[in-house]
Chain A
Amino acid sequence: MIIDRRKFLKILGVSAFIGIGGWSTFEVIGRGQIEAFAEKYRKVPEALQAKRWAMVIDLKKLDEKIMNECIKVCHKLHNVPDIPNPKEEIKWIWIDDFEHSFPGFEHEYMSHEIKEKPVLVLCNHCDNPACVRVCPTKATFKRKDGIVMMDMHRCIGCRFCMAACPFGARSFNWKDPRQYIKEENKEFPTRMKGVVEKCTFCYERIDRGLPPACVEVSQGAIIFGDLADPNSEVRKVLSENFSIRRKPALGTEPSVYYLL
């Protein structure tokens, strides 16, 4: 059979029509399967939304009592074990002195009072997180709202992220943490031996419409909000006060700011 140009184009056109707009396409759309699929999982309507979550910690308003309160509530809520051996300790939020929290800011003639001033430190939820870049399994990743999250199901315990993080915000579970948890919070999981953990900006509370737990107990010393929103409280506070970040020269762009 000889097919001329005209006939060939006709066949091509008809088959393309069937291929693109064929019965199967109508069938799928007709059943509303695509819509149903998109609707199956939803955010809670009251969930807090932002483009880049950030925290401003006002060190003038914080005393050690409030800091310890923040640590206590965070560690209790997230089943963080209390391991006595400092080499195996696990911390999401903790206290360090000024000199070690902000290396480069200190100098020889600084008063002891400032050098040893307690600073509340936690994961900085960097905009350019080194830990996320090195994770081989994408167990740690950056959410759309800027939170640097941990997916414990994927963590293989290689500890690259711990080597990459310049803030020491990550802790490794050298042993089963359950035996060191005095009182379990039944609403949150624990971790297992061999995974890395850190602060998650209370993603589970944000997704339910609540601010992070430490913000709630800080008596106004910690402000939480959206950096991308020019009218947010964090932006207001940052524009009106002098603020610093930890190790800014490393270029990780921390989202936790400190007021002195």
Chain B
Amino acid sequence: MYDGWKIILGLLVFVAFVTLPFTLSTGKEYVKADPKIDTPEIQKLPESERKCVESKEFMRKEHMKMLIDWRDTVVREGKTLYVNTEGKSFNMSLQNTCMQCHSNKSKFCDECHNYLAVKPYCWDCHIEPKEDKKEAGL
């Protein structure tokens, strides 16, 4: 093999570079996203009404799709009521419905979004609820 040492050196550098994210993160503590739903607004609700518009599993998986459907229905079709699988209806509004209960945006939204490195641009326009920064642990 001509210039074998150059090729091998190059390969070594390449492998070291590609595995950099792994080697750099060894020994670091693994922080798992830990969203919180224990806001004072939710605590205040009676036990029977402490439910989201749909089940927890559904919301976890589908909330992004649901929010887009909500926004299109409200803005484009002028319909503002969402009737859930139990037949209960809700005003379709991120600012006036979701965030009324989930008033802890940093622990409810940002926790997972940061973990997954997704940056939804909701809050460029929609007004986020005021949070007590100390309480949120920031």
Q: Do A and B bind each other?
A: yes
B109 within 8 A of A: no
B116 within 8 A of A: no
Min CB gap A13→B, angstroms: 40
* CB neighbors of B among A20-43 (8 A): 39-43
Contact across chains for B83 and A189 when beta carbons are under 8 A apart: no
Contact across chains for B71 and A187 when beta carbons are under 8 A apart: no
Contact across chains for A151 and B76 when beta carbons are under 8 A apart: yes
Do A47 and B125 contact each other (CB < 8 Å), given the known contacts A39-B83, A186-B95, A187-B96?
no
Contacts of B89 in A (CB 8 A): 42
Q: A40-B82, A149-B76, A207-B80 are in contact. List 9 more A-B contacts (CB 8 A).
A: A41-B82, A43-B80, A43-B81, A149-B75, A151-B75, A153-B75, A192-B121, A206-B78, A207-B74
Do A143 and B82 contact each other (CB < 8 Å), given the known contacts A186-B95, A186-B127, A189-B127?
no
Spell out B's residues near A (CB within 8 Å).
Answer: 71, 73-83, 89, 92, 95-96, 121, 124-127
Contacts of B77 in A (CB 8 A): 41
Roughly how many angstroms separate A151 CA and B96 CA in the complex, as a whole number?
Answer: 18
Roughly how many angstroms separate A141 CA and B76 CA in the complex, as a whole number?
Answer: 8
A99 within 8 A of B: no
The binding surface of chain A is classed by DSSP as: loop
Roughly how many angstroms separate A133 CA and B69 CA in the complex, as a whole number?
Answer: 25
Do A191 and B76 contact each other (CB < 8 Å), given the known contacts A41-B81, A42-B89, A186-B95?
no
Contact across chains for A44 and B125 when beta carbons are under 8 A apart: no
Roughly how many angstroms separate A184 CA and B71 CA in the complex, as a whole number?
Answer: 21
Interface string of A189-222 (1 = CB under 8 A from B): 1111000000000010011100000000000000
Contacts of B75 in A (CB 8 A): 149, 151, 153
Interchain Cβ contacts under 8 Å between A and B, 22 examples: A39-B83, A40-B83, A41-B79, A42-B79, A42-B89, A43-B79, A43-B80, A43-B81, A44-B80, A44-B81, A144-B78, A149-B76, A151-B75, A152-B125, A187-B96, A188-B95, A192-B121, A192-B125, A203-B78, A206-B78, A207-B79, A208-B80
Contacts of B126 in A (CB 8 A): 189
Do A143 and B78 contact each other (CB < 8 Å), given the known contacts A39-B83, A189-B127, A192-B124?
yes
Interface string of A39-65 (1 = CB under 8 A from B): 111111001000000000000000000
Contacts of A208 in B (CB 8 A): 80
Contact of A187 among B81, B95, B121 (CB under 8 A): B95
Which residue of chain B lies nearest to A184 when distances are taken between CB atoms in the complex?
Answer: B127
Min CB gap A142→B, angstroms: 11
Do A41 and B73 contact each other (CB < 8 Å), given the known contacts A187-B96, A207-B80?
yes
Which residue of chain B lies nearest to A143 when distances are taken between CB atoms in the complex?
Answer: B78
Contacts of A47 in B (CB 8 A): 78, 80
Roughly how many angstroms separate A47 CA and B78 CA in the complex, as a whole number?
Answer: 9
Which residue of chain A lies nearest to B78 when distances are taken between CB atoms in the complex?
Answer: A207
Contact across chains for A190 and B125 when beta carbons are under 8 A apart: yes
Contacts of B76 in A (CB 8 A): 141, 149, 151
Roughly how many angstroms separate A40 CA and B89 CA in the complex, as a whole number?
Answer: 9
Contact across chains for B79 and A189 when beta carbons are under 8 A apart: no
Which residue of chain B lies nearest to A49 when distances are taken between CB atoms in the complex?
Answer: B78
Min CB gap A183→B, angstroms: 12
